[in-house]
Structure 1
Amino acid sequence: MEQEIGPRTVHPAIVIIVMLVAVMLGFQVIGPMIGFFVALPLYPGSLMEMTESLKEPMKDPEMKNTLYLMQGFGTFFGLILVPLYVLAKFHRSASTLFKGPMYIQPVVLVVGIVMIFMMVNSMFIEWNQNITFPESIEKWARGTEEQLAELTKYLTKFDSGGQVALALVVIAILPAIGEELVFRGIIQREFYRGTNNIHVAIWVSAAIFSAIHVQFYGFVPRMLLGALFGYLYYWSGNLWMPILAHFINNGFTVVAMYLYQRGTVEMDIEDAKAAPWSAVLTSAVITVALLYLFKKFYEKRTPADFVNNTNSDNATLIQ
């Protein structure tokens, strides 16, 4: 009889490598391919015309919804379905990641933490934008950054409320679930299982999370966000907390861009200029205070309320 693979018999490095390879395959190849064919009936042209437009999609306004669908299916397939399948193969249950009671207090705290941390992170965004690399790396990095920036600008110039709703699904909801499942629920847990050091697990996972976006001039602020999500997960033991934080961050950005384009608000959230130092320092103090309240809230939960609901695979993040 074949011996079942238990949760601790597979080395964490193997789980992480297999997961990342599978995720990239699903996210970059299989998922977008499915999205392409789903979008085909919606495109006012032939298969060949749509394929040709895909080479330079920003020149064809009809390609915007196609790109949304390709990205959406890439995220859904590559960051949700594939990781769940790989987890099952390693005999790990994903259901335990989402267990645990939901309380209104930490939900409110998460909303405040994310919104106020944006002010703090503006300083790192401006700093990271102005980093210089050796000339050979600089040329490649800037070129990659500009291409992604142009594509982002194209996708986030909304023509209707329907596109905003679609963008919220593709940019906010699906990535919040998929990226937190992969980078916090799986990779962070595996790093912790391998190192027994939660801070190493959180920061290395956050660095990988930032690196896969291939935006070097936004690496540090995105890594800080990843670390923030990591600590929210560690302290609460409930993956819904970083998912909520991730959704608020992305969703607020989409809505703010739409309102700016309509002239409803004057703040351009895409502006990389940092907030005034006084605002940054005040926001940093408030963020730390809210994080402290969040952490203390879960420390007061009894095992019956919390720990027993978050234990899973003998590799729980709660001590």
Structure 2
Amino acid sequence: MVKQPVNQLSPGRQLLYFLLLFAGIFIVCNVVGAFGIAGMYGANLLRDIGALNFRNPNVGQALYLLQIIAMTFPIFISSVIFARFVVKEPKDLMGVAKPFPWQTLIVVFFIMMLCLPLIELLSRVNQHLNLPASLKGLEKMIRESEDRAQKLTEAILKMNTIGDMLKNLLLVGLLTAIAEEFMFRGVLQPILYRWTKNQHVAVWVTAAIFSAFHLEFFGFLPRVLLGGLMGYFAIWSGSIWPAVWAHFVNNGSAVIVTYLYQQKKIKINPDDTHTFTYSGYIFSAIIVIILLLVYKNITSGKKQAVNINGEELG
């Protein structure tokens, strides 16, 4: 029997209310984060971060705090507040409390590892995409913005000890995975499914929004693929946790590889986009498709997933 929705808001209104809620919390948290950093370390540190001056020894700690307060927290808390007070079904937030076959976690792990060649291929394609000549100025601005974001990321991922690596596994890996999956696969994807009545449209539109949210034009395509995989992990299992696990595996493995490369334990540069061959790309695509079918088969015996509106995701 299909559970009747507690909240009768239309999908359009749900989406609008969520976006307004997130925008408000995001602005407040960014203001709080900026004043908090200025209060703890002085306003000069904020200027150093803005100027990409990382010589101040407190920059690393400040970047961690800003990441948590100004980004991770508003993403997470806006999703929880939306589910609790707008939709009024917090336990149905894409199946937070819904059990799922433990075998899916193993399949998800191998999918995320074996899709790396596909991610590299899409990255290479994305790097060769250029805006029309009339928008060259915009393209230059985008590249400069992404270069700036890359330098900030490198500052966060500068790891000298195992403790630094574990800290990044917690922040960049686990906390980010939970927050972003609650928002994208927990809130936005169910809204879009109810709106379109098509799970594939909901998955890929959410994946595109997920990628665009990261403001990396030249990394857009690979992130769409990742978002699509996480979308299917959630919608087929009826639980958000396989998607969270996939997100953690992706981010966590990047942290570990970066640490090993920085410590000269491995020679593979995590930023290298020429690691695999074309035969590797084809092999990756075939194996990932097979494993996705295995994943769907494992979860097919379960009851249809119920979204945050109490409707079957089918």
- Aligned-CA RMSD value: 2.1
1:125 corresponds to which residue? 123
1:3 corresponds to which residue? none
Identity of aligned residues (%): 29
2:187 corresponds to which residue? 186
Q: Letter of the aligned partner of 1:226 in structure 2? A: G
Q: Aligned match of 1:49 in 44, 52, 71?
A: 44
The alpha-carbon distance between structure 1 residues 133 and 154, as it changes in their structure 2 partners (threshold 3 A), is: same
1:78 corresponds to which residue? 74
TM-score, normalised relative to structure 1: 0.88
Task: Give CA-to-partner distance per residue, 1:178-222, whole Å, 9 cap, x none.
Answer: 111111111110011011011111111111111011100000110
Contact 2:126-2:221 within 8 A present in 1 as well? yes
Aligned length: 304
- Aligned runs of 1:1-150 on 2, under 5 Å? 7=6, 9-27=8-26, 29-36=27-34, 45=41, 47-59=42-54, 60-96=56-92, 97-134=95-132, 135-150=136-151
1:235 corresponds to which residue? 236
Task: Give CA-to-partner distance per residue, 1:144-192, whole Å, 9 cap, x none.
Answer: 1111112112221213333222222221111211111111111110011
TM-score, normalised relative to structure 2: 0.89
**Distance apart, 1:67 and its partner CA:** 0.7
The alpha-carbon distance between structure 1 residues 246 and 78, as it changes in their structure 2 partners (threshold 3 A), is: same
Work out the CA distance in 1 between the residues paired with 2:102 and 2:207.
26
Work out the CA distance in 1 between the residues paired with 2:220 and 2:6.
32
Work out the CA distance in 1 between the residues paired with 2:261 and 2:203.
34
Task: Give CA-to-partner distance per residue, 1:233-260, whole Å, 9 cap, x none.
Answer: 1110010010000000000001100000
The alpha-carbon distance between structure 1 residues 255 and 54, as it changes in their structure 2 partners (threshold 3 A), is: same
Contact 1:31-1:76 within 8 A present in 2 as well? no
Q: Letter of the aligned partner of 2:102 in structure 1? A: I
Contact 2:21-2:78 within 8 A present in 1 as well? yes
Work out the CA distance in 2 between the residues paired with 1:314 and 1:257.
42
Work out the CA distance in 2 between the residues paired with 1:58 and 1:32.
20
The alpha-carbon distance between structure 1 residues 75 and 48, as it changes in their structure 2 partners (threshold 3 A), is: closer
1:213 corresponds to which residue? 214
1:268 has 2:269 as partner: yes
Work out the CA distance in 1 between the residues paired with 2:138 and 2:274.
24
List gaps (5 residues or longer) in structure 2: none
Q: Letter of the aligned partner of 1:58 in structure 2? A: N
Contact 1:34-1:70 within 8 A present in 2 as well? no
The SS at the match of 2:181 is helix
Work out the CA distance in 1 between the residues paired with 2:204 and 2:34.
35
Task: Give CA-to-partner distance per residue, 1:36-73, whole Å, 9 cap, x none.
Answer: 566568x6x5x333343343253334211111111012
The alpha-carbon distance between structure 1 residues 257 and 118, as it changes in their structure 2 partners (threshold 3 A), is: same
Contact 1:7-1:90 within 8 A present in 2 as well? no
**Distance apart, 1:8 and its partner CA:** 5.1
Work out the CA distance in 2 between the residues paired with 1:292 and 1:192.
21
List gaps (5 residues or longer) in structure 1: 1-5
**Distance apart, 1:115 and its partner CA:** 0.7
